Amino acid sequence: MDFSLSEEHLMAQRMVREFAQKEVYPTIKEWDRKQQMNPAILPRMAELGILGICIPVRYGGQGYDYITLGLVCEELERVDSTLRVVMSVHMGLNSLALLQWGTEAQKQKFLVPQARGQKYGAFGLTESGAGSDVVAMQTTAKRHGDVYVLNGEKMWISLATKAHNFLVVAKTDPSAGHRGLTAFIVERDMKGVTTGDIHGKLGVRAGSTGWIAMQDVEVPVENRLGEEGEGFYIAMSCLDNGRYTVAAGATGLIRACLEDSIKYAHERKTFGKPIGEHQLIKQKIAYMQQWYDAARLMVLHVGWLKNMGLRNTRETSMAKWFATDHSVKAALEAIQIHGAYGFSDEYDVERYLRNSKGAVIYEGTSEIHQLMQADYALGYRRDRPLRCEMPAYDAAYWQAEAINA
């Protein structure tokens, strides 16, 4: 059993850490207060290859493995959650779904420009009345010859006003329950597609969150992802990848709380000595260290399972549940350690707390994951093979140039 990271892992980690710390951190408070996304972020992430970090080179990516994706997400959220959200949506919920389920033509048309960062991808599943209860969605898709006509509205969509392509799940057979859902790639410039931003969020304020409305949008059959009726299974496989990035990011947020608290505990003095020498402060630091170590091991384990091409729905759910729940706890403890300063935006810990709360809601609430884990333990839930399983990481294939390059 080898827990060491390769030189490739460490190189990617250093590159992303330097980008986040030097180029994003100095102005993140300003953009958070403005409740706007820095327009330079996405182009810069594209330039560095981050937006295609674990997509094969033949499809425009960098050819790194899934463990690298987790390390990248940890480093991004160490600075701010908005950076990791980009990876969760563009990579986890969209690009990796194209890699898993897309035809070769779809990969060339949509995946290649997304991996290169020439276009951005988003994911449209949630609606105003359909979150955990996916089948409650109202968006419909009716086939008319060579096109599907989509009608409906998706809410709480990250990158809604930034993305070029949306992976949208809609009902093609309302009477068939979860077997009546189908997935489509909806392009922004299609007639009838409109988007908008949502303001006034508690956290992730420096990011883009909004809505997508579709009115009689004609989507060609060749933009259908998978077969008719596979939308639920495609969406769940997307969530396996998205939840992995969320868990990795939450691990970075725990680390942020820990490192900032250690720094403050050495600087702040009470009763004639640094507060780090007080036992109850030590207790909080120790808990945060424990939570970080445990979350990181869970995330690395999931990354290894993905590299091996092994099903990881249970393990990903556990990692997401644990890391996000404990990122909230770590942020609360960090604020307590900082005292009155933790209650102001002079220090970063108040932003960590606001950002942490979203991740225990999106991509499966903590309650949903708790029920999933109970069902696995009790034997009520078993994962069935999918028609298209996520491909295992093959270094030779991932890093090989495209045959027609």
DSSP letter string, 71-83: HHHHHHHHH-HHH
Whether residues 257 and 373 share a domain: the answer is yes
Per-residue pLDDT reduced to its tens digit, 44-53: 999 999 999 9
Whether residues 156 and 73 share a domain: the answer is no
Per-residue pLDDT reduced to its tens digit, 204-243: 999 999 999 999 999 999 999 999 999 999 999 999 999 9
Q: Looking at residue 395, what DSSP letter applies?
A: H
- Mapped onto helix, strand or coil, the DSSP state of residue 360 is coil
pLDDT mean across residues, the chain: 97
**pTM for the full predicted model:** 0.97
Domains held by the chain: number: 3
pLDDT of residue 404: 56
CATH number at residue 161: 2.40.110.10
**Domain final residue pick, 230, 263, 297:** 230
Whether residues 245 and 128 share a domain: the answer is no
Catalytic center residues: 363
pLDDT of residue 131: 84
Local confidence band at 401 (pLDDT 50, 70, 90 cut-offs): confident
Whether residues 116 and 131 share a domain: the answer is no
Whether residues 168 and 52 share a domain: the answer is no
Whether residues 110 and 39 share a domain: the answer is yes
Alpha-carbon distances of 95 from 53, 286, 314, rounded to whole Å: 11, 38, 22
Q: How many CA atoms lie within 13 A of 321 on its CB side?
A: 16
Number of H helices, E strands in the chain: 14, 10
Taking alpha carbons only, the member of 185, 210, 205, 207 closest to residue 195 is 210
Domain housing 48: 7-120+395-399
Whether residues 55 and 100 share a domain: the answer is yes
Per-residue pLDDT reduced to its tens digit, 173-215: 999 999 999 999 999 999 999 999 999 999 999 999 999 999 9
